[in-house]
Structure 1
Amino acid sequence: MESSSSSLSFSILRVPFFLEPDYPENIVSIGTNRERLIQKWGGPKGWEAQKKRHDLKGRGQKAGIPHFNLDRLTGNTMASHRLIQHVGKLYGLSVSEKLYDRLNIYYFVDGHSLNDRPRLA
């Protein structure tokens, strides 16, 4: 097989998804992430086991999230997904990626809801 000296160029596009699609769009928050995860995993013991099993802290740090605010407000994320898509269409991929990074800090570290439209504006 012949080798080629041409390089391959590509872009990675993040595609949003709903972790909890049944959350209502019309309220900012249904509670804290801590409350949601404790309930989801069957109590504090189950939740602690999941954190260790998936190394969420380590994975977050690799993604640029210095620490997780476990009492962050959890809610429907459609407003933030729409914002990212709108910014991407208007300003391009590099700007929407910067917005993703800022929203990660806004949510995971600062603890704000991703469905708080006035704050997102």
Structure 2
Amino acid sequence: MAGISAWRRTPTRRGPYVARAVAELRSWPSLALSDTGQQIAFTVRGTEILRLAGRDEIHVRLTAPAIGRLEPYLHACDQIHACRDRAWVAVQVDAEPDLELLLALTSVAIKAHVA
């Protein structure tokens, strides 16, 4: 009889700039880390505003009104893509300027979700 082996899911390896972003964002007092084992996310006052979506991608919940105000700038940036949910954008973080952009958008997201 052949042995049974359990399939074990290995976590997605994060790119170096995503890892740096997570390290930086952990120190922000407004953000709380949520690690379900399958997904890492950050919340502000219980609302998820950041989620790691891949090796070099993070989704940011800006809200539809904030995206509307920033749309000309977001549209011109190759590192930002619309998500299916119109309140979110995907940020490709694979260089230092992308990390800085992500941190700036995170500030916008926090402000949009704090009364």
Does 1 or 2 have the higher relative contact order (CA < 8 Å, sep 6+)? 1
TM-score (normalised: structure 2): 0.30
TM-score (normalised: structure 1): 0.29
Larger % of strand: which? Answer: 2
When Rg is computed on C-alpha atoms for both structures, the one with the higher figure is 1
Larger % of helix: which? Answer: 1
